[in-house]
Structure 1
Amino acid sequence: MDNIILYLLKIIQEQYQQICWLILFICRYIPLKQWAHDELHSPKYQKFLTDKLPVIKPFIKQDWQLWNGYYLLRYGKAVKPVKPQKGKPRNVPTDTACPLCGAPHDYIYDNSGGRGQFKCKICGQTFVNGEKVTSPFKLQCPYCGHALKPVKDRKHFRIHKCVNDSCPYYRRNLTKLPKGLPQSEYWKYKLRYLYREFSVNFFDMELNQLPKWATSFRYKKNNAYIMGLCLTYRVNLKLSLRQTVQALKEIHGIDISHTMVNNYAKTAAVIIRPFVDSYDYNPSNELAADETYIKIKGIKAYVWLIMDKVTRSILGYQVSTSRDVGPCILTMRMAFDKFKEFPDRTLKFIADGYSAYPLAAQQFKIEKGWDVFITQVIGLTNDDEVSKKFRPFKQVIERLNRTFRESYRVTCGYGTDGGAIHSVSLWVAYYNFLRPHEKSGGREPLNKVELLEGAGNMPGKWQLLIYLGQQELLKQQQG
């Protein structure tokens, strides 16, 4: 009995030592005081915020003679032509003129030692070869009016920063820093005003590229019904290419190669997509967006989806190899094109905490003048009122992601970018028009098309869907 008591006391002492060690570890390495900056616990996971738009001073054509007259009145002397250095010829061509004020070549400096950049002595504008202006407009901080300075160049945008230490925005953020924080740790916090100037206009890109060969079929060996069977097994039943070939051979006695099945799927995707994208979905003002992961050539890629929370239809979709703001803008464009009139402030757009969505919303404000307010539901738990209120939106789009991945999982990844795009396009067509949805108790698809209702089986519906796509293609080409 005494041995048991001694043994238990020894265990208690060891546990006490472990508890003391854990308490010391927590006190030394885990701060108990929360971060005071923007009500976040760690600067590593601060919520991404987009600043308001800068003040833009556009490029306005001016008259160099008026400038020179102003200098004469203000300073008592006009600006004289540029004098060449002794023994060195001027490298400014005689036909060069300032693109801003129109000053002739006599008032133009060679600003880069013969490498093509010039500077006007009248207005100070720099330009290249008299054509390309290096600063077509000027960006100013909306808080202090100081000119923004470009600090970083990224793939699709340039970051401009306000470097004015007296900027009210900067001074206000300094007061939010934790007390006693060394200046070497300031980089962990967003203190200065930032603006991202995009170098690629994602609003001029074509959402649908229509190949000329995609308006007709020529079957040398098979027919349209066999193509409908291929799509039924491939898309509806989620079979791989070789499983589709095996099913056609063992069930229907049709001998076909997996390459032919792939070609049928690719052609059908190109033809059906215009009908799917131009269909009148009559969307509501409640949209949910998310992105999920796929593999292309063994490398992670992304599928962007935007769905109508009320009708459950997919309004926008894109496949991209990078998780940038570009494909996010294209997906939002595709979804917003479904509106006959943009709902503006009444639109409820729910997304996760990824930074691409508020950046895309800012670009819509610049290009279209639309106020797109992004409600971001962050995390898996309802830690705030916003997450608690809009969690059902996030759950709907997450359920859509799982439905898509069920059809994608059998492929073990895509071999090409085009294959991924065509597969996603076919799946969206199937989801919106052919798949019985739980919203109707599994009896009807989301969008009922009268022509498709007359088909007796699924291969026939695929054939009619291809026909509708062909008609839409012809309409777009003629229009």
Structure 2
Amino acid sequence: MINKFLLETVIYLIEIIKYLMTLLVGKNLLKSISDEPVKKEYRKLQVDDQPIFDVPEKLNYKLLIAEYEFKHGKEFAPVKPRKNKALAPKDVICPKCGAPHTYLYDNNGGRGQYLCKVCDTTFNPKNYYQKSIVLRCPHCSKTLERIKARKDFYVYKCKNDNCSFYQNNLKSMTKSEKQDFKKNPGKFKVRYIFRDFTFDFKPLSKESPVKSMVSFPTILIPFTP
């Protein structure tokens, strides 16, 4: 709740500043933001849309086996070594349904990929199903790739060349910007980026022993643009 309140407060104060600046300088600051690609000196000020938070499906291998045995009237047998498919190590379990190694094949000759006989899932140690939440681009739904790890946050980027966000930014460039982009691509922010902050918000909660000297409800002034 505190995060939502702070975000709403910041947005509210930004609208007040825009309105006051319009009155002072006589320019309309309330118009929509341009879709032009953000140059290097300003790109840190741009905030992209929130990503899609995708929670992977989880199954129960015991229920799947019971369903199979009820439907087919026979026991669901553990895996047996077969051509080009050895058994998985004992410490490996299926990340989607939880099946133990007795139901898993080594799918690529000891190179880290396994096949679950119960739910027919192919996986490896960096598989989709091992993540509690998968971050996807809000423009193309492709999985975001973590490109940087900082002290208090991770940086994720959409590397899909067909992403509408990326393509629209390229199309909106002027001829000179396109030439500059070919030589210095780092000067422009053209791909979707998301920062996942990892610092603790607990000190900001009401239960924190550190009391703030400022109360937001008392400093806010009713405002109608």
Q: TM-score range by the shorter chain?
A: 0.5 to 0.7
Kept in 1, the 8 Å contact 2:88–2:114? The answer is: no
Q: 1:284 aligns with which of 209, 214, 218?
A: 218
1:370 matched residue in structure 2: none
- Could you tell me how far 1:114 is from its partner in structure 2? 7.7
Unaligned runs of 5+ in 2: 1-33, 69-77
Structure 2 CA distance for partners of 1:134 and 1:82, relative to 1, 3 Å: farther
- Could you tell me how far 1:194 is from its partner in structure 2? 1.0
Number of equivalent positions: 172
1:187 matched residue in structure 2: 186
Kept in 2, the 8 Å contact 1:149–1:161? The answer is: yes
Kept in 1, the 8 Å contact 2:115–2:122? The answer is: yes
TM-score (norm 2): 0.55
Identity of aligned residues (%): 30
SS at match of 1:160: strand
1:197 matched residue in structure 2: 196
TM-score (norm 1): 0.29
Q: Which residue identity does 2:103 align to in structure 1? A: Y
- Could you tell me how far 1:188 is from its partner in structure 2? 1.0
Is 1:151 equivalent to 2:119 in the alignment? no
CA distance in 2, matches of 1:99, 1:63: 10
1:398-477 → structure 2 map (5 Å cutoff): none
CA distance in 1, matches of 2:216, 2:196: 34
Is 1:140 equivalent to 2:74 in the alignment? no
SS at match of 1:284: helix
Kept in 1, the 8 Å contact 2:156–2:193? The answer is: yes
More helix by share: 1
- Could you tell me how far 1:145 is from its partner in structure 2? 1.3
Unaligned runs of 5+ in 1: 1-35, 70-79, 211-273, 287-309, 311-345, 348-479
Q: Which has the larger radius of gyration?
A: 1
SS at match of 2:59: coil
Structure 2 CA distance for partners of 1:279 and 1:51, relative to 1, 3 Å: closer
Q: 2:165 aligns with which of 150, 160, 169?
A: 169
CA distance in 2, matches of 1:97, 1:145: 28
**Higher normalized contact order (CA 8 Å, seq sep 6+, divided by chain length):** 2
Kept in 2, the 8 Å contact 1:37–1:177? The answer is: no
Structure 2 CA distance for partners of 1:45 and 1:57, relative to 1, 3 Å: closer
1:42-121 → structure 2 map (5 Å cutoff): 43-46=40-43, 48-64=45-61, 65=64, 81=79, 83=81, 90=87, 92-93=89-90, 96-109=92-105, 119-121=114-116
Structure 2 CA distance for partners of 1:37 and 1:179, relative to 1, 3 Å: farther
CA distance in 2, matches of 1:62, 1:279: 49
- Could you tell me how far 1:152 is from its partner in structure 2? 2.1
Q: Which residue identity does 1:192 align to in structure 2? A: R
Q: Which residue identity does 1:81 align to in structure 2? A: V
Deviations 1:431-457 (A, max 9, x none): xxxxxxxxxxxxxxxxxxxxxxxxxxx
SS at match of 2:169: helix
Structure 2 CA distance for partners of 1:206 and 1:44, relative to 1, 3 Å: closer
CA distance in 2, matches of 1:282, 1:49: 25
1:198-237 → structure 2 map (5 Å cutoff): 198=197, 200-204=198-202
- Could you tell me how far 1:201 is from its partner in structure 2? 4.4
